[in-house]
Structure 1
Amino acid sequence: MIKSSIRYQATDKVRDLVEDNTQLLLVLNRFHIPFGFGERTVCEMCEEKEIDCSTFLAIANLISGRRFSINEIELPTLLSYLREAHSYILDFRLPDIRDTLVSAVHQQRLDEVAVRIIRFFDEYADEVHRHMDYEDRIVFPYIEELLKGNVAKNFKISDFASKHESVVSKLNELKDIFLQHYAMPNTRMLNRALFNISACGEDLVSHCEIENLILVPAVEALEKDVYTTNMSQQNIASGNRELSQREKDIIRLVAHGLANKEIADRLSLSFHTITTYRKNISAKLNIHSTAALTIFAILHGIVNPKDIELK
């Protein structure tokens, strides 16, 4: 039984998630989670299969229309999931639809309309291939380089987001042609074809939402961190030791005894961003201890010594 009606939690049982939403079977498949999970919780299963639990829950919650969080998303895990989704859709889902579609229309009659329907689907499948190939060749490698700290000069995730649209509209058009205009018996094969088309449409919508609502924001945050780091490193390399206002704010809070997590909350920044700032400040000033940084802050008027408790 799901413990919360708001969102799935790490302590929920995997089988309860599947019973709540059978579409999560696809999520399990793309994370390579086998059946036979018994009474294991999401946390236990993710730990056993070395899957980032926060990323799994974000995807499962989004697909199920529940609240989700991207604060602790692990991008390598998300990229692996999206690549598996591409492979499933391109190598299994679309070919299966085509096979059943061909059988369905050929059972009735092989005429000009039937030929055009198959051609329509083939053109749509090519469009999906191009869409996902662009992500596999351009977008995902860009993110992997970003994770290494490498900045691309001619690409940002906003370039992808601004052009990223759902590829499900034509699939819905094909379904509507059968349901509203193509008068032919509702055979088992045609029923199966239309059922598969609907399922594929739902899968593609979820896939697009995962990229728009989880991947893009997570990469934007990473870009901000990496670009900040690179700018600081460039300043250090050029001999520029002048502190920015943000760096002074962080030094002041360090001098007051706040930990990185507390500083992140105070400044509404991510923990990773504060950690990056601290590293850059240490490299810029060649000061690595909190005590020495506090003395530096006092000497340069960044903090009033009377406001600091002497420990």
Structure 2
Amino acid sequence: MGVVNVTPDSFSDGGRWYTPAAAVAHGLTLLEQGADLLDVGGESTRPGARRVPVDEELQRVLPVVEALVDRGAPVSVDTTRAQVARAAVDRGAVLVNDVSGGLADDDMARVIAETGVTYVAMHWRGHADVMDELADYDDVVTDVRHELAQRRAVLRSHGVHDDQVVLDPGLGFAKPGASNWPLLARLPELVADGFPVLVGASRKRFLGHLLADADGTPAPPLARDGATAAVTALAAVHGAWCVRVHDVPASVDAVRVAAAWQSAQQPAPGSGVDDELAVDDEARTGGTGP
């Protein structure tokens, strides 16, 4: 999933793709680089960000969604608002990526049920301007799984089918740096809940802290792409359905490496590799005994 930020205040690109023309061109470039889906968002969710009026979000997002869909791109819309979600789906978006998991807008579940669109429900505890005050966990993985299960129950109660739902552990959202690593290390537990899992680690603060220089200054966002690709490779190996990234080529390569690594772990059926190994053992030991 390639990120297309149509915002002037994104933490990762500083508004570089803010105009519709620039956003569309960037999205098409990401598609050429190997993105399977373009995630178009018109409201920054960086820590401390303020909300924008819904009319402004619509003005930012809809022209970009329409233009990309017209060019044959598969598009998701990154929004917490049901009105924006419905408008984007009406214009061809195939997925709604809601960082609030429906908590920010009570109408979201109804819109998802009525449209039948695929829906990413992320773990969330509050908007960007307050989320850092809400990072209190007993066990972050257990708590995130429990709270996502609550969101699934609400979605079901509104008629959303399980096969529409993708889960996202919400890396960086109401989670200080150290709390993100257990969610990644225990990703198989999230996958085992039976839903596709989206991982959004790209350029986030916890990677900046990991890569901090000797005096503790975090690495800037653009210097975090290598670490992001490493997370992508590990997430792919451990069952993630998709990764949301800013730098698509590095993560496409990381997925290829992960796939090759996994396919090489076991000999292909009928390859005769096991027999060859047995012959080699006999040659070394001089017989068939232990």
The normalised TM-score by structure 2 is 0.23
Larger radius of gyration: 1
The normalised TM-score by structure 1 is 0.22
